[in-house]
Structure 1
Amino acid sequence: MSDERLAVETLDDRVVITLDRPATRNAIDAEMVAELHVVCDQVEKDPKPLLVTGGTEIFAGGADIGQLRERRNVDALAGVNSRVFDRIAALPMPTVAAVAGFALGGGAELAYACDFRIGTPSVRLGNPEGGLGILAAAGASWRLTELVGEPLAKEILLAGRTLNASEALDVRLLNEVVEPDDLLPTANRWIDRMLQNAPLALRMTKLALRMPRSAHPAFDNVAQAVLFETDEKHRRMTAFLDRKSSEALRLAAGRE
């Protein structure tokens, strides 16, 4: 439909979504949020890595200010944006944001919710919500502290600092910076790399990373117990041992 806010491509091993509101700098409105929930439904039922992008020029300039201006306390308490970003962060398989240009306000919070962020030299990340009389309530006020530490988070959230690509890379808010033509290929290579691991091991590891400290090591032991009983673990370890054995035989033959 012409009024859709997302372009969704479902592949055999991943889902790629492109924010598609170029006239508004990909502003995140209620309709886009609803479409993001639909994608989350899909990926929760059929777990695959998720790639989120706005294209090679801009990620998302923020939330839709026209809609935000009209929202009242009941809308804030409903957590319109925070609920969907939390849902993205909790998806069972890894998520990668391919970020170009501005990722501000809600756009930055969407990027923060992903597991990895690949950027271009034009990236500008920040949360200017205070200048609009509100706070960054869709994850930045706590997720950003976890990602970059409290001192820098305060600079961004209280002092209005915007990070360029080099600064974001230095603090690992961006995992890699590449030229625009390489943005999506690089983001897909990150997913390719992760998919070399066993899918269930990926899911268990991501879940372990989200567990509170008090849940460890008990959670790790239970997750490992599940993985120890899988055919995938046995197949992969057998293949590893077979390769080591073959290498040892070749080395021995070379010494004779």
Structure 2
Amino acid sequence: MSRREDAAYDTLVVEERADRMVVTLCRPDARNAISGRMIAELHRVCEELERTPRLLLLTGHGGVFAGGADIAELRRRGRDEALQGINSRLFERVRRLPLPTVAAVPGWALGGGAELAYACDLRIAGPDAVFGNPEPGLGILAAAGACWRLRELVGESVAKQVLLAGRTLDARAALGCGLVLDVVPADRLLEEAHALLDRMARSSALALRLTKLVTDASGAHPVADDLAQAVLFESPGKQERMTRFLEKKGGRA
């Protein structure tokens, strides 16, 4: 599998492979806090993945995913910046990337860091992972998706415990409420995350893309199901994959 690292980033380490991008949040002096510069660089990542759809693995440097947003920058922001949705627009863009996204969370994922992880399709955690949204303690709210996305992921009760009561979810609690797919040893976190992407990469990219589109659509959508399936039924990938399956089974279903 060919790979190369792109050095043209200041707050990210970006490794490009044929079927995926591996993006590491990297501001070691600030627990990988999400700054305006990091937001701009993540937009560049999204632009590349929209232009050339691939899987995305998102993680953090130094045993931390992201310790929150950059508080010094947040303190300077006012009403106009809030209305720009600086973080929320990026996280929604991550959510809408064509192919699946995985967050590998090694440690703290707080505030904006947690919201970025929530925006990914799947999360896998190390044993020291901790999710939380302490924004009300700073006089603000978790306005980049947590107030509605977390409820969709874990249910209203747990979401309110996190958002209103300041509860943090350690790796075990996050697994118990379905926020993460698995908890794995720290030294195997990236290996297991890549194994997850490997499994998805063996599927049809078009099927993954359409499945994600239909799953993310709001409400009941039988027409969307039918249209997506119609596209796939006419695709070469469907014919090839089902033929291989039947040949392995000796022609039996």
What TM-score, normalized by structure 2, do the two folds share? Answer: 0.95
- Whether 2:101 is the aligned partner of 1:84: answer no
The CA deviation string for residues 4-50 of structure 1, in whole angstroms up to 9 with x for no partner, is 00111110110000001010000000000000000000000100000
- Whether 2:193 is the aligned partner of 1:219: answer no
Deviation at 1:55, TM superposition (A): 3.2
The CA deviation string for residues 93-125 of structure 1, in whole angstroms up to 9 with x for no partner, is 000001011100000000000011111111111
1:198 maps to 204
2:32 maps to 26
Alignment of 1:99-114 (within 5 A): 99-114=105-120
For the residue of structure 2 that corresponds to 1:245, the secondary structure is: coil
For the residue of structure 1 that corresponds to 2:57, the secondary structure is: strand
Amino acid paired to 1:160: G
For the residue of structure 2 that corresponds to 1:110, the secondary structure is: helix
**Conservation of the 8 A alpha-carbon contact between 2:114 and 2:133:** yes
**Conservation of the 8 A alpha-carbon contact between 1:56 and 1:99:** no
Equivalent residue in structure 2 for 1:244, among 232, 241, 249? 249
- Structure 2 CA distance, aligned partners of 1:246 and 1:89? 40
- Structure 1 CA distance, aligned partners of 2:62 and 2:153? 24
- Structure 2 CA distance, aligned partners of 1:95 and 1:233? 23
Equivalent residue in structure 1 for 2:193, among 184, 187, 212? 187
2:4 maps to none
For the residue of structure 1 that corresponds to 2:58, the secondary structure is: strand
Equivalent residue in structure 2 for 1:70, among 76, 82, 105? 76
Amino acid paired to 2:225: D
Amino acid paired to 1:207: L
Report which of the two structures shows the higher radius of gyration computed on alpha carbons: 1
2:54 maps to 48
Deviation at 1:246, TM superposition (A): 6.5
The CA deviation string for residues 180-227 of structure 1, in whole angstroms up to 9 with x for no partner, is 11010000011001111111000000001111124x100010011111
Runs of 5+ consecutive residues of structure 1 not aligned to the other structure: 249-256
Amino acid paired to 1:25: R
Equivalent residue in structure 2 for 1:159, among 165, 175, 182? 165
- Structure 2 CA distance, aligned partners of 1:247 and 1:78? 56
What TM-score, normalized by structure 1, do the two folds share? Answer: 0.94
Name segments (4+ residues, structure 1) moved above 3 Å. Answer: none
- Whether 2:139 is the aligned partner of 1:146: answer no
- Whether 2:66 is the aligned partner of 1:60: answer yes
**Conservation of the 8 A alpha-carbon contact between 1:82 and 1:138:** yes
- Whether 2:219 is the aligned partner of 1:232: answer no
- Structure 1 CA distance, aligned partners of 2:67 and 2:46? 22
Alignment of 1:115-130 (within 5 A): 115-130=121-136
**Conservation of the 8 A alpha-carbon contact between 1:82 and 1:139:** yes
Q: How many pairs were matched up?
A: 247
Runs of 5+ consecutive residues of structure 2 not aligned to the other structure: 1-6
| Gap change, CA 1:245 and 1:56, over 3 Å in 2 | farther
For the residue of structure 1 that corresponds to 2:147, the secondary structure is: helix
For the residue of structure 2 that corresponds to 1:213, the secondary structure is: coil
User: What's the RMSD between the two structures over aligned residues?
Assistant: 1.4
2:3 maps to none
